[in-house]
Amino acid sequence: MTDDPGRDESEHDESTSDKVPFDESAIDDLDFESSLPDSDPEVGIGGTDNPFSVFGPGAETSGGANPFAGIPMFADIARMLSTGGPLNWDIARQMAMSAATGGKVETNVDPAVRFAFSDLARIADMHVQNLTGLDTTVGGRNVEIATTTPGVWAQRTLDAYKPLMTELATSLGRRAEGDDDSGDPFAAMLAGIGQMMGPSMLGMAVGGMVGQLAARAFGQYDLPIPRPASHELLVVPSTIDAFAKSWSLAVDELRLWACLQEIATHAVLNVAHVRAELEGLLRHHVAGFRPDPSALMDKLEGLELGDNDAASALQRTLGDPEVLLGAVQTPEQLAQLPRLDALVTTIIGYVDHVVDRAAGMLLGSHRQIGEAVRRRRVESSPEDIFVERLLGLRLSRQQVERGRAFVDGVVERAGEDGLSRLFAATGNLPTPAEIDAPGLWLARLDIA
């Protein structure tokens, strides 16, 4: 049957003359309770562990009384936002793809562009290995440039960052001590909302962040974050070529610059102890947050759900990075930030030095390209600030200049041979104090 009044009854498949008259007394024989879905907290439908459950008004949850029992809109939202972990990856992927592509359908990279980057990668790899002495191979395979689109970059980056972001979500999802001690039922209700919606809120925030990065990334190491070991390095030709056009740079030269940048960063992060140190510092930072329940409460208190655009208003609130950034940094995080700063600035300063040397041999416009690319890198945007606060990666102009000054100071005093000791052993990485005084680093390593 259809409720469409414009449809002729003669179109029905079944004959109306064969219908059995409706027997109202049959309602008494139906067992509504047994027809409901079995309780399953993970599925979130019919289970009393779900504070949004519409079955059994007033059902208790592990967090207290169910504030939304019997309210279909919130029940539907809860089912939509249900997840099996601290971060809703389905929502993260949708948000990342939307932000990366702007809702447009992407086309595959032209094969001619892929071949061009493949040729450039071989040139860049040879020069990086010669200048650094570092091994760029992974599992015995030479490094390769994999050209991709912003949307694919976003999805691959979410996969690569998943362990780090899961740890972040676990940290932010912890309930702060004393959350339920106020005795205020409304405050308790909002705290419950925060816990229930936290995974989806994090999915929106992380997905949006990665999508925004994807929309402007040249390659996978625009942020110096280690990824699973692979001989393939991602670059985004459409973004590189568009930047070359906007700055009136030679496209082929900027493509080679991008290859040098990616492979040089890969070479450093391919050093096992450097990779382990950076991963450890990043994990320590993201695991150290303490949640601030008032951030979400303040947002939801001002949220108007009575209009026709309630769902959009709720989505905007949950996707607001400032809600997530209500997390409180701990003294432990602040104490280890100088170490993270020192390592990141060292990596950036070293990579810039290598790229400048290689580009000086290969590119006629290397100075113009270097200035344009580095100005782009330190221009702060909302997503950059978001990343910095979440991951502790402070990529300001000041930090970049610290790294450059350290490397220049080492080369001035001990030449390239002295600089080659930088990643040779675990204990050779400079301390925060040595970053600002390269002579101290040389003295500690007894480099003349």
pLDDT score for 44: 34
* Rounded-to-integer distance, Cα 323 and Cα 167, Å: 18
| Contact between 434 and 346 (Cβ < 8 Å) | no
Tokens coding 79: 């089912």
pLDDT score for 386: 72
Q: Beta strand 64-65 with 144-147: parallel, antiparallel or unpaired?
A: unpaired
pLDDT score for 187: 52
pLDDT score for 309: 61
Which residue from 389, 390, 392 is spatially nearest to 341, judged by alpha carbons? 392
Tokens coding 369: 């390209």
Q: What is the tens place of the pLDDT at every residue in 216-247?
A: 999 999 999 999 999 999 999 999 999 999 99
* Rounded-to-integer distance, Cα 188 and Cα 330, Å: 24
pTM of the model: 0.76
| Backbone region of residue 446 per phi and psi (left: phi > 0; alpha: psi in -120 to 50; beta: other values) | left
Which ranges of the chain have pLDDT less than 70? Answer: 1-84, 174-197, 291-328, 380-385, 448
Residue where the block lists tokens 């071989």:
122
| Contact between 281 and 432 (Cβ < 8 Å) | no
Amino acid at 123: I
pLDDT score for 20: 44
pLDDT score for 49: 38
pLDDT score for 85: 76
* Rounded-to-integer distance, Cα 78 and Cα 52, Å: 6
